[in-house]
Amino acid sequence: MATIRIAYLYEDLMNTYGDSGDVKILRYWLNQAGYDVQVDDVSLDHEFNASDYDFVFFGGGQDYEQTVVAKDLFRHKNELAKFIDAGKPMLAICGGYQLLGDYYETSDGTVIKGLGILPLHTIFKADSRMIGDTEFQTEFGLVRAFENHSGRTYFDDKEKLQPLGKMVEGYGNNPEDGVEGMRYKNTIGSYAHGPILRNENIAKAITEMIIKSHDEWGGQATA
């Protein structure tokens, strides 16, 4: 039986609002499809090689944990960029989503550098938290989830990045744009907790992406 390898980035630090449930749900659907699943926690002082994995998950975290992760994450910038640009599937939630961008600016004006892999940035507004149930329409169908964030994310290149969905209820990326999340190749970013993959439609879609990527690469190095 073939094995799917999943890298869970900073599982011990970035796991708010049930985000680890996304990995458990994917394991279930991959098992149903006939695959064994190996999940590796890639955390502080661990190494990440793009060619070793079929899927990367990056969850959300509290402000302090996110700051710790931001400092360590740059060790993996080149490998993550290779993984993403090769079209391998990745799901990044909330803080993980923000850290793929150029920077996020805190309420006191402090600018914390992100990886700069994707052309987006985030501005924190501590006095206007966006919290509550959320619904948005995606190419996979309607998604229902929960959001709780002060960060407002904006695309800096709207031709390169596409929204994951169009808002029906809630805030999404920010209060102005009416969209939720991001899609670039097979990398998806989202503010949706709950976890998001309790929505069977998007869970099955990402499962199919993972299987297709696994079959395509077949253990080949990610160039």
DSSP output for 64-86: HHHHHHHHHHGGGHHHHHHHHHT
Residue 110 has a pLDDT of 83
Residue 45 has a pLDDT of 82
Distance CA 174, CA 218 (A): 39
- The residues facing 123 across adjacent strands are 105, 152
Residue 82 has a pLDDT of 96
Distance CA 104, CA 106 (A): 6
Residue 25 has a pLDDT of 97
Residue 107 has a pLDDT of 75
**Catalytic status, residue 76:** no
CA 208 to centroid of chain Cα atoms? 17
Distance CA 145, CA 133 (A): 6
Segments in the chain below pLDDT 70: 17, 218-223
What tokens appear for 27 in the block? 């394991």
Residue 223 has a pLDDT of 45
Distance CA 34, CA 65 (A): 36
Catalytic position from the list 76, 121, 149, 193: 193
- What count of Cα atoms within 13 Å lies in the side-chain half-sphere of residue 21? 14
What tokens appear for 123 in the block? 């501005």
Strands 111-113 and 90-93 turn out to be unpaired
The SS3 call for residue 169 is: strand
What tokens appear for 5 in the block? 């390898």
Catalytic position from the list 94, 121, 149, 214: 94
**Catalytic status, residue 193:** yes
